[in-house]
Amino acid sequence: MEPINRQEMEQYILHHLAITGIKTNLFEDTAITAVHQGSGGILRRANHLARGALIAAAKDQSRTVTADHVRLASTEIF
C-alpha cells in the first residue's frame, strides 16, 4: 500500500473520529501534519501515532491534540 499525502491523512483522521461518534476535529492542523510526517503517510503507523497523541492529550486534560502531543507519542512508540 502506498503512503497517503497530508490532505488524505486529514480526511483519514476525521473519518476515524466520525466512526467513534466525535463530530469535531480534535487534532490541530499542526498535529495532523506531525502525524503525517511522523508516520511517513503509512496508515498503520499513523493509527498508532494518533492514538498515542490522543492519550497524551487526555493526560494533559487538553480538548485538542497538538503537535507536542504527537511528538511525545512518537518518542514512546517508535
Q: Give the residue numbers spanning the domain of 62.
A: 6-77
Q: How many domains does the chain have?
A: 1
How far apart CA 40 and CA 17 sit, in angstroms, is: 20
Task: Kindly report, residue by residue over 19-69, the tens digit of the pLDDT.
Answer: 999 999 999 999 999 999 999 999 999 999 999 999 999 999 999 999 999
Residue 10's CATH number: 1.10.8
Q: Is 18 inside a domain boundary?
A: yes
Cell numbers for 28, please give them. 490541530
Yes or no: say if 32 and 66 are a contact pair by the CB < 8 Å rule: no
In a domain, 13, yes or no: yes
pLDDT of residue 76: 82
